[in-house]
Structure 1
Amino acid sequence: MLIRKATIEDLPVLLQFEQGIITAERPFDSTLKPDPISYYDLEAFITSTDVQVLVAEIDGEIAGSGYARIKKNPDVYYDFEKYAYLGFMYVLPAYRGMGVNQAIIEELKKWTVEQGLTEIRLEVYNDNIGAIKAYEKAGFKKRMIEMRIRL
């Protein structure tokens, strides 16, 4: 498995991955607008110095993706000014359970440390048990539960 920085040439595959993420998340959030929607400006992320977009290649095929994006901490009461936010985590179904997600996260952790950051955060739907287990396996811990009511 090769973990590498994404390039503009990878964009067609990455746009398909984005739709895969949206499809997977629809059952967890009834407030998502009908298709077509987009979560990310992937081209801008790939070319940004504040975002590290990675892909995992297996036998020449892009099998998974993820990014870490530097974000400013809006809350002055924490002991860090900036943190890395993880997103765009996707693995093709044929490659799930092979450690692709873990390998991408490990490389994103290294990049985060190289940026001088000490905090990584992400969001995951409460009912997405598989994703929660994968993130816990990578060392993430639950911190806060967001609650809402639709009126």
Structure 2
Amino acid sequence: MENLEIRDATLNDLPTLLNFEQALIAAERPFDPTIKEDPVSYYDIRQFIEAKDVKVVIAVVNDEIVASGYALAKKGRQYLDHSHYGYLGFMYTLPGYRGNGINQKIVQSLKQWCHANGLKEIRLTVYDDNLPAIKAYEKAGFKKHIIEMRIV
């Protein structure tokens, strides 16, 4: 995609990112009836942007923010061969820009940050019924690993 820039998010981007968060929540509601009614928030995006141990990136096309994502380190389980792993979240692309490889560019940037910070394993979570997202993550190199089950 022409004129695509992947860059670190700043506090100036916060209003758009808060809108992205609400759009992400709205998109995920059909997959999870236990999400609380509005107002609800998944993240403290301001804190993530200000944190040294979290990487928040955005994709910009022609001066418009069109996608987002973050990476942070999470503690691994004591029986695994890695003490920490990279966790990706807040993966959102505006509907009109989906299918252009922007998510892959976001993932690539976050992978670089994870590897530079010694995080060799990288994970994310996605709803089992969110087939377009699963397809995008598989294109970026992710493989299904474990299924979490529940009774509601």
Q: TM-score, normalised by structure 1?
A: 0.97
Instruction: List alignment gaps of at least 5 residues for structure 1.
Output: none
DSSP-derived class of the 1:106 partner: helix
The match for 1:83 is 85
The match for 1:142 is 144
The match for 1:29 is 32
1:67 and 1:51 map into 2 onto residues whose CA distance is 7
- In the TM superposition, 1:105-120 aligns within 5 A as 105-120=107-122
Q: TM-score, normalised by structure 2?
A: 0.97
- In the TM superposition, 1:3-22 aligns within 5 A as 3-22=6-25
DSSP-derived class of the 1:39 partner: coil
Shift of 1:103: 0.4
Segments ≥4 residues shifted beyond 2 Å:
none
DSSP-derived class of the 1:21 partner: helix
Shift of 1:117: 1.1
1:55 and 1:127 map into 2 onto residues whose CA distance is 25
The match for 1:60 is 63
DSSP-derived class of the 1:67 partner: strand
Superposed CA RMSD in Å reads: 0.6
Alignment size in residue pairs: 149
- 1:129 corresponds, among 97, 111, 131, to 131
Instruction: List alignment gaps of at least 5 residues for structure 2.
Output: none
The amino acid that maps onto 2:50 is T
2:118 and 2:35 map into 1 onto residues whose CA distance is 35
The match for 1:50 is 53
1:81 and 1:55 map into 2 onto residues whose CA distance is 28
Shift of 1:113: 0.7
1:137 and 1:62 map into 2 onto residues whose CA distance is 22
The share of aligned pairs that are identical, in percent, is: 60
2:39 and 2:21 map into 1 onto residues whose CA distance is 11
Per-residue CA deviation, residues 1-44 of structure 1 (Å, 9 max, x unaligned), is: 00000000000000000001000000000111111100000000
